[in-house]
């Protein structure tokens, strides 16, 4: 690597960068500098299961580090490694079926309509595939002590250390975004003590060769079609081609490397070794068949590798750290129970009864706060699995902080500009037939993956979603025209690398849901409302929003009640009991449909006003259609009516809360404007219950936050932070695995993203004109704390500090001259404000602006 021996004799490279905006603003305001708590996911032993391993990633290339002693395994993924190729997402027979379904719905024959709607189904998605494994064998029956393994969120590195006799071995792994490689450094503190055998493996069709330059080259291809489910049915067609190259750089005067079986590299007597893994595929976009791709993955992988190995390991790490921290360090969070509550262990030694009567009260408080701080720090070093188990008893706030930042870490690690969207497992999968194909599901799961990107100050990480929506609009225009005779573009409940837009195969309760595309389109407007990027609104967002609205205008039809209706219509994955006693899922104008349509129409109207497009035909049609949409209704039991009629619900504790979309992430229900509907939302949540998969828990947490019910929002945190045993998973009962991955179960990454989004909503909420500080802070649980760097609509950044359960100070600033912030709210206090770009405003607990200064 650039001629050095891997030891970086020139010394470690360290970037020194200016402080992040949020930290600079706090420093200028004179806020005290708090010692950061360690942000580590800690393990006491090597991984036994996929969900014990430590995830690393650069958006495109991911790995799970298992941390074994006798053998290390890095399970590899590449974001474009999928089965199949572009498909035909149209069904010429669909219009006749659609007409039949609509007729049955109009007659109130909902069970019959449901049965016929199966014929509107399409094909299954393609399947996300694992790249393979780096295997590093150190020997057998190794006796070791002092084992440590942890994932450091501050540096995005996975680390393993242990002793064998008097020798300390250490490993460090990271996935570099600047250089697009996975880098591993293995070292021993005794010269010549490192020996191992390195190899690559994959479950896909492949061949492996080794060069004289210490390179293991693995080339292969994905299946040309999704697995058939029949072990005897082998797919001989070739799909996406791939290449992974593992390069080994040894240090140590007496170390040797030899080739074994033309497939492995054997290292003996080294001081340390650096491994670099580069990988590429032949994926050339969602509209290019694998057989027609002009990309050579081997050439691409070598190009990437050659650039990376021209640098020393410390240079690679310095670039990696700088790139990662430029995103991660934008937001800091500290939650504390204050001086009257210690975490972990016995508190009697430091209770007031055991402190000298000569000690002043203030000194007593300082001692107790210091004790609490020490306990919080020691908790951070405990195995995370133990912290999850004990959370029901100690409710350790630092674990909440860790889970919040872990979600941000994962988003940075699996979704970057130019990569694919985060799928159902982010980028981390170890199975050729993963649960639900690891396919993105736009009936909640894909959207939740990107909920934290804006409020948690990671807007760049959402860019792959906008690229993907653009691809959906191309295929979706064909689906819309052929299947439904409609304008614009449509997408349904599940999709894949190839931007599938047709309905899924199977039950219409999930497959027949053309609101997937419209819901995704709302993210385009949200991105503008947070960033105030007018060029993005004009060039990217508005054309896609207009196309989605055009579909919806075509999809709406005259109904029997005098409204514009959607027919057929489903509430995702939820059945009802029709008036004739039969179960059905197909009816008309579900609350979810109407809520999504209102959001899209509203986004188009607001965008058109900004861009000077208010006179267009689409805008005029929307203005006529909006007042004709059915209103949200309240059922006999005081809950939000999920369907257009007050059908009996056979599963009142169903996991989806789709009918509450208007409160969050939508904007058509608010405590100020629709208090009766919000009361019905609360009744609906009580009726649904608190249990459910991880993503359901996170959504409920955000909904309770928007009802300003801090107690119940916090209850959802307790619900989520429970340990899931991989050997005894209970269907649809969520929680956390030992590596903090969230469970449906099995593992689904959506709740890892839903959690930081929901927590941010507990601390800051916003509209275009109003900013709400600490709207759902659980004051008795976290009476002291701060958050720095959260984002709000209008291009705002917010820092908040609270003490004794109440707002102490807030700082806010905007980088945009387009922001329309008019009011700031805290509890019963409100203040009118105008914000100039680049100015920091400092507010006290009464929302009095104490001063302002240039950022």
Q: What is the mean pLDDT of residues 716-741?
A: 92
Least Cα distance to 102 among 534, 565, 668 occurs for: 565
Evaluate if residue 175 carries a pLDDT over 50.
yes
| DSSP-assigned states of every residue in 636-692 | TTSSBPSSSS-PBPS-TT-S--GGGTTTTT-SS--TTT-HHHHHHHHHHHHHH-S-S
Evaluate if residue 96 carries a pLDDT over 70.
yes
CB atoms closer than 10 angstroms to residue 60: 23
852 in Cβ contact with 842 (< 8 Å) = yes
Question: Which of 340-354, 503-517, 541-555 has the weakest average pLDDT?
Answer: 340-354
133 in Cβ contact with 202 (< 8 Å) = yes
pLDDT-above-90 percentage for the chain: 88
Evaluate if residue 844 carries a pLDDT over 70.
yes
pLDDT band at 60 (very low <50, low <70, confident <90, very high): very high
| All residues at 6 or more sequence positions from 101 whose CB lies less than 8 Å from its CB, including other chains | 113, 116, 117, 120, 567, 568, 586
Question: Can you give the pTM of this predicted structure?
Answer: 0.94
**Tokens linked to 147:** 């084992």
pLDDT-above-70 percentage for the chain: 92
CA distances from 39 to 113, 150, 155, 593 (A): 53, 10, 10, 41
Query: How confident is the model at residue 816, as a pLDDT?
Result: 86
Max CA-CA distance within the chain? 88
Q: What is the mean pLDDT of residues 566-590?
A: 97
| DSSP-assigned states of every residue in 760-825 | HHHHEEE-SSEEEESTT--TTT-SEEEEEEEEETTTEEEEEEEETTEEEEEEEEES-TT----EEE
Cβ burial 10-45 (10 Å sphere, 16+ → b, else e): eeebeeeeeebbbbebbeebebeeeeebbbbbbbee
Question: Which of 31-45, 599-613, 680-694 has the weakest average pLDDT?
Answer: 31-45
Q: What is the mean pLDDT of residues 39-65?
A: 98
Question: What is the C-alpha separation between 39 and 150, in angstroms, rounded?
Answer: 10
Question: What is the C-alpha separation between 501 and 62, in angstroms, rounded?
Answer: 27
pLDDT band at 375 (very low <50, low <70, confident <90, very high): low
Query: How confident is the model at residue 359, as a pLDDT?
Result: 33
Tokens 């639900």 sit at which residue? 436
> What ranges in 485-515 are assigned the alpha helix state H?
508-511
DSSP helix/strand/coil, 245? strand
Evaluate if residue 39 carries a pLDDT over 90.
yes
CA distances from 155 to 97, 175, 328, 723 (A): 55, 11, 9, 26
Evaluate if residue 234 carries a pLDDT over 50.
no
Question: What is the C-alpha separation between 764 and 725, in angstroms, rounded?
Answer: 34
Q: What is the mean pLDDT of residues 743-760?
A: 97
On the 0-12 / 13-18 / 19+ scale of CB atoms within 10 A, 771 is buried
pLDDT band at 227 (very low <50, low <70, confident <90, very high): confident
Query: How confident is the model at residue 339, as a pLDDT?
Result: 57
φ, ψ for residue 127, nearest 5 deg: -125, 135
**Bond before 698 cis per omega within 30 degrees:** no
Evaluate if residue 71 carries a pLDDT over 50.
yes
Question: Kindly report the CA angle at 32 between 410 and 371, in degrees rounded to 5?
Answer: 80
Query: How confident is the model at residue 399, as a pLDDT?
Result: 98
| All residues at 6 or more sequence positions from 641 whose CB lies less than 8 Å from its CB, including other chains | 591, 632, 633, 634, 635, 659
- Provide the CA 17 distance to its chain's centre, in angstroms: 27
Query: How confident is the model at residue 347, as a pLDDT?
Result: 34
Evaluate if residue 225 carries a pLDDT over 60.
yes
pLDDT band at 721 (very low <50, low <70, confident <90, very high): very high
Give the chain's mean pLDDT: 92
CB atoms closer than 10 angstroms to residue 293: 17
Question: What is the C-alpha separation between 182 and 57, in angstroms, rounded?
Answer: 8
Question: What is the C-alpha separation between 30 and 834, in angstroms, rounded?
Answer: 23
Strand partners, 686: none
DSSP category for residue 728: S
Handedness of CA 632, 637, 642, 644 (dihedral sign): negative
776 in Cβ contact with 704 (< 8 Å) = yes
3-state secondary structure 15-83: CCCCCCHHHHHHHHCCCCCCCCCCCEEEECCCCCCHHHCEEEECCCEEEEECCCCCEEEEEEEECCCEC
Q: What is the mean pLDDT of residues 696-705?
A: 98
DSSP helix/strand/coil, 746? coil
On the 0-12 / 13-18 / 19+ scale of CB atoms within 10 A, 231 is exposed
DSSP helix/strand/coil, 461? helix
Question: What is the C-alpha separation between 792 and 813, in angstroms, rounded?
Answer: 10
Evaluate if residue 349 carries a pLDDT over 90.
no
Phi-psi label, residue 335: left if phi above 0, alpha if psi -120 to 50, beta otherwise:
beta
Question: What is the C-alpha separation between 356 and 359, in angstroms, rounded?
Answer: 5
**Tokens linked to 292:** 């027609």
Query: How confident is the model at residue 17, as a pLDDT?
Result: 64
826 in Cβ contact with 807 (< 8 Å) = yes
**Bond before 746 cis per omega within 30 degrees:** yes
Question: Which of 49-63, 342-356, 454-468 has the weakest average pLDDT?
Answer: 342-356
3-state secondary structure 469-512: HHHHHHHHHHHHHHHHCCCCCCCCCCCCCCCCCCCCCCCHHHHC
Q: What is the mean pLDDT of residues 720-747?
A: 92
| DSSP-assigned states of every residue in 511-542 | H--TTHHHHHHHHHHHHHHHH--HHHIIIIIH
Question: Kindly report the CA angle at 652 between 651 and 658, in degrees rounded to 5?
Answer: 95
DSSP category for residue 747: B
Least Cα distance to 524 among 510, 508, 538 occurs for: 538
- Helices 397-414 & 313-328, crossing angle to 10 degrees? 110
Q: What is the mean pLDDT of residues 739-754?
A: 96
DSSP category for residue 729: -
> What ranges in 189-283 are assigned the alpha helix state H?
none
Q: What is the pLDDT of residues 273-324, one digit of tens each?
A: 999 999 999 999 999 999 999 999 999 999 999 999 999 999 999 999 999 9
Q: What is the pLDDT of residues 323-344, one digit of tens each?
A: 999 999 999 999 999 754 433 3
Q: What is the mean pLDDT of residues 655-679?
A: 97
Strand partners, 272: 187, 251
Q: What is the mean pLDDT of residues 401-424?
A: 98
Q: What is the mean pLDDT of residues 446-459?
A: 98
Question: What is the C-alpha separation between 842 and 239, in angstroms, rounded?
Answer: 57
pLDDT band at 538 (very low <50, low <70, confident <90, very high): very high
Element (H, E) at 210: strand 205-210
DSSP category for residue 507: -
Query: How confident is the model at residue 228, as a pLDDT?
Result: 76
pLDDT band at 377 (very low <50, low <70, confident <90, very high): low
pLDDT band at 57 (very low <50, low <70, confident <90, very high): very high
> What ranges in 572-616 are assigned the alpha helix state H?
591-611
656 in Cβ contact with 696 (< 8 Å) = yes
Least Cα distance to 595 among 572, 573, 615 occurs for: 572
DSSP helix/strand/coil, 271? coil
Evaluate if residue 353 carries a pLDDT over 50.
no
Query: How confident is the model at residue 379, as a pLDDT?
Result: 81
Handedness of CA 782, 786, 791, 792 (dihedral sign): positive
Question: What is the C-alpha separation between 514 and 485, in angstroms, rounded?
Answer: 13
Question: What is the C-alpha separation between 448 and 32, in angstroms, rounded?
Answer: 35
Q: What is the mean pLDDT of residues 501-518?
A: 97
Helices (H) and strands (E) in the chain, counts: 20, 32
* Greater model confidence, 614 or 364: 614
pLDDT band at 37 (very low <50, low <70, confident <90, very high): confident
Question: What is the C-alpha separation between 805 and 317, in angstroms, rounded?
Answer: 41
Question: What is the C-alpha separation between 131 and 81, in angstroms, rounded?
Answer: 7
DSSP helix/strand/coil, 442? coil
């Amino acid at each position: 690597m650039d001629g050095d021996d891997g030891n970086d004799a020139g010394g470690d490279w360290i970037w020194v960068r200016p402080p992040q905006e949020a930290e600079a603003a706090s420093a200028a305001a004179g806020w005290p500098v708090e010692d950061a708590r360690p942000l580590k996911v800690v393990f006491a032993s090597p991984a036994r299961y996929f969900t014990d391993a430590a995830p690393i990633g650069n958006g495109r290339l991911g790995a799970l580090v298992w941390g074994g002693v006798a053998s290390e395994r890095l399970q590899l993924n590449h974001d474009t490694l999928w089965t199949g190729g572009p498909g035909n997402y149209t069904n010429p027979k669909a219009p006749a079926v659609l007409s039949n379904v609509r007729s049955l719905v109009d007659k109130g024959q909902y069970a019959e309509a449901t049965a016929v709607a199966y014929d509107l189904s399409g094909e299954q998605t393609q399947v996300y595939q694992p790249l393979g494994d780096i295997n590093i064998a150190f020997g057998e029956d190794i006796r070791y002590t002092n084992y440590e393994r942890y994932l450091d969120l501050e540096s995005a590195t996975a680390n393993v250390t242990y002793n064998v006799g008097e020798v300390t071995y250490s490993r460090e792994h990271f996935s570099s975004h600047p250089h697009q490689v996975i880098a591993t450094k293995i070292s021993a503190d005794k010269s010549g003590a490192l020996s191992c055998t390195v190899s690559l493996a994959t479950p896909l069709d492949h061949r492996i060769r080794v060069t004289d330059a210490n390179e293991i080259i693995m080339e292969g291809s994905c299946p040309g079609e999704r697995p058939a489910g029949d072990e005897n049915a082998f797919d001989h067609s070739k799909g996406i081609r791939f290449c992974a190259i593992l390069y080994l750089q040894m240090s140590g005067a007496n170390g040797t490397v030899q080739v074994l079986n033309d497939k492995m590299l054997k290292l003996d007597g080294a001081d340390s070794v650096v491994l670099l893994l580069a990988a590429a595929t032949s994926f050339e976009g969602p509209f290019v068949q694998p057989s027609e791709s002009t990309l050579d993955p081997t050439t691409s992988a070598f190009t990437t590798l050659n650039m990376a190995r021209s640098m020393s390991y410390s240079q690679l790490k310095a670039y990696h750290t700088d790139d990662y921290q430029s995103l991660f360090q934008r937001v800091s969070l500290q939650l504390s129970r204050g001086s009257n509550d210690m975490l972990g262990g016995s508190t009697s030694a430091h209770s007031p009864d055991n402190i000298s009567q000569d000690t002043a009260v203030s000194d007593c408080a300082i001692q107790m706060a210091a004790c609490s701080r020490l306990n919080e720090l020691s908790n951070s070093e405990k195995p995370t699995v133990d912290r999850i188990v004990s959370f029901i008893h100690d409710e350790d706030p630092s674990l909440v902080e860790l889970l919040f930042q872990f979600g941000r870490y994962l988003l940075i690690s699996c979704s970057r500009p130019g990569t694919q969207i985060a799928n159902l497992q982010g980028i981390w999968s170890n199975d050729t037939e993963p649960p639900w194909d690891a396919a993105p599901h736009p009936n909640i799961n894909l959207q939740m993956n990107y909920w934290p990107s804006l409020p948690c100050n990671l807007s760049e990480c959402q860019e792959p979603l906008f690229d993907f929506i653009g691809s959906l609009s191309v295929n979706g225009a064909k689906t819309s025209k052929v299947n439904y005779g409609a304008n614009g573009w449509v997408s349904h409940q599940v999709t894949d690398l190839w931007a599938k837009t047709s309905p899924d195969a199977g039950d219409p309760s999930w497959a027949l849901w053309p609101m997937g595309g419209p819901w995704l389109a709302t993210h385009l407007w949200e991105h503008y409302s947070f960033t105030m990027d007018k060029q993005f609104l004009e060039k990217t967002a508005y054309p896609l929003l207009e196309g989605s609205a055009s579909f919806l205008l075509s999809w709406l039809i005259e109904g029997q009640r005098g409204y514009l209706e959607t027919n057929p219509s489903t509430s995702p994955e939820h059945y009802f009991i029709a008036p004739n006693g039969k179960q059905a899922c197909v009816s008309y104008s579900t609350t979810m449909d109407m809520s999504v349509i209102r959001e899209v129409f509203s986004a188009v109207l607001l965008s058109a006003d900004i861009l000077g497009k208010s006179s267009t035909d689409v805008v005029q049609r929307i203005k006529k259609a909006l007042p004709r949409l059915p209103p949200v209704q309240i059922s006999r039991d005081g809950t939000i009516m999920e369907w257009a009629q007050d059908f009996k619900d056979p599963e009142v504790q169903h996991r989806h809360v789709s009918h509450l979309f208007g409160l969050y992430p939508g904007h058509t229900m608010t405590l100020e404007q629709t208090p009766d509907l919000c009361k019905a939302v609360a009744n609906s949540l009580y009726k649904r219950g608190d249990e459910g998969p991880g993503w359901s828990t996170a959504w409920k947490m955000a909904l309770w936050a928007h009802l300003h019910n801090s107690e119940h929002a916090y209850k959802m945190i307790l619900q989520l932070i429970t340990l899931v045993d991989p050997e005894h998973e209970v269907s649809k009962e969520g929680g956390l695995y030992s590596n903090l991955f969230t469970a449906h179960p099995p593992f689904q990454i959506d709740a890892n993203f839903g959690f930081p989004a929901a927590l941010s909503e507990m601390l800051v909420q916003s509209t275009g004109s109003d900013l709400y500080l600490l709207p759902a802070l659980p004051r008795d649980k976290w009476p002291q704390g701060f958050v720095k760097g959260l984002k709000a609509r209008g291009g705002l950044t917010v820092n908040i500090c609270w003490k004794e359960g109440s707002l102490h100070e807030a700082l806010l600033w905007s980088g945009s001259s387009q922001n329309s912030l008019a009011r700031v709210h805290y509890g019963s206090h409100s203040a009118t404000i105008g914000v100039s770009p680049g100015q920091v405003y400092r507010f006290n607990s009464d929302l009095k602006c104490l001063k302002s200064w240039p950022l």
